Chain A
Amino acid sequence: MNYDEIQSLLAPLTPRGAEPELRTRVLAAVAEELQTPQRGLWPRAALAVAAAIVVALGLNLWLDHRAEQRLAELFGPPPASKRATEVARMVAEAAGAPAGRWVYERLTARPNTSSDPAKYYAVLQRIVEETQIGFKESGHEALEENRPVDRRGPRRPGGDTSDRQRLVRGELRLTA
Chain B
Amino acid sequence: MGALLQERLARGEQAAFAELYDACADRLHHYLLVRLGSRTDADDALQETFLRLARMRERLAKVESLEAYVFTVARHEAIRLAASRVQRSRKLQPLVGDELFRVAPGDANAQDTAAALAAALGQLKPELREIVELKLYAGLTFQQISQVTDLPQGTVATRYRSALAHLRSWLARKL
A residues near B, CB below 8 A? Answer: 1-3, 5-7, 9-11, 13-19, 22-23, 25-27, 29-31, 33-34, 38
Given contacts A1-B171, A6-B168, A13-B114, contact A30 B50 (CB under 8 A): yes
Q: Which segment of B24-32, B75-83, B84-92 sits at the interface?
A: B24-32
Asked whether, in the complex, the Cβ of B168 is within 8 Å of the Cβ of A1, the reply is: yes
B93 within 8 A of A: no
Given contacts A1-B171, A9-B171, contact A17 B29 (CB under 8 A): yes
Given contacts A11-B136, A29-B50, contact A22 B43 (CB under 8 A): yes
Asked whether, in the complex, the Cβ of A26 is within 8 Å of the Cβ of B25, the reply is: yes
Closest to A11 in B: B136
Residues on A with beta carbons closer than 8 Å to the beta carbon of B117: 9-10, 13
- Determine the distance from Cα of A6 to Cα of B61 in the docked complex, in whole angstroms: 38
Closest to B58 in A: A38
Given contacts A1-B168, A9-B171, A18-B25, contact A33 B43 (CB under 8 A): no
Q: Within the complex, which residue of A7, A18, A34 is in contact with B12, where a contact is CB–CB below 8 Å?
A: A34
Asked whether, in the complex, the Cβ of B26 is within 8 Å of the Cβ of A17, the reply is: yes
Residues on A with beta carbons closer than 8 Å to the beta carbon of B137: 15
B172 within 8 A of A: yes
Distance of A152 from chain B, by nearest CB (Å): 108
Distance of A9 from chain B, by nearest CB (Å): 7
Asked whether, in the complex, the Cβ of A13 is within 8 Å of the Cβ of B101, the reply is: yes
Asked whether, in the complex, the Cβ of B54 is within 8 Å of the Cβ of A15, the reply is: no
Q: Which of A6, A25, A33 lies at the interface centre, i.e. has the most chain B CB atoms within 10 A of its CB?
A: A6
18 chain-A/chain-B pairs, Cβ below 8 angstroms:
A6-B164, A6-B171, A7-B164, A9-B113, A9-B171, A10-B136, A11-B136, A16-B30, A16-B33, A16-B98, A18-B26, A26-B50, A27-B18, A27-B21, A30-B17, A31-B14, A34-B54, A38-B57
Residues on B with beta carbons closer than 8 Å to the beta carbon of A30: 14, 17, 50-51, 53-54
B55 within 8 A of A: yes
Residues on B with beta carbons closer than 8 Å to the beta carbon of A19: 43
B167 within 8 A of A: yes
Asked whether, in the complex, the Cβ of B50 is within 8 Å of the Cβ of A13, the reply is: no
Distance of A99 from chain B, by nearest CB (Å): 73
Residues on A with beta carbons closer than 8 Å to the beta carbon of B51: 29-30, 33
Query: 1/0 per position for B46-70, CB-CB distance to A under 8 A?
Result: 1100110111011000000000000
Residues on B with beta carbons closer than 8 Å to the beta carbon of A23: 21, 25
- Name the 9 nearest CB pairs between A and B, nearest first: A17-B26, A18-B29, A33-B54, A15-B30, A13-B101, A14-B102, A15-B137, A30-B54, A26-B47
- Determine the distance from Cα of A30 to Cα of B30 in the docked complex, in whole angstroms: 20
Residues on B with beta carbons closer than 8 Å to the beta carbon of A22: 25, 29, 43, 46-47
B103 within 8 A of A: yes
B157 within 8 A of A: no
Distance of B117 from chain A, by nearest CB (Å): 6
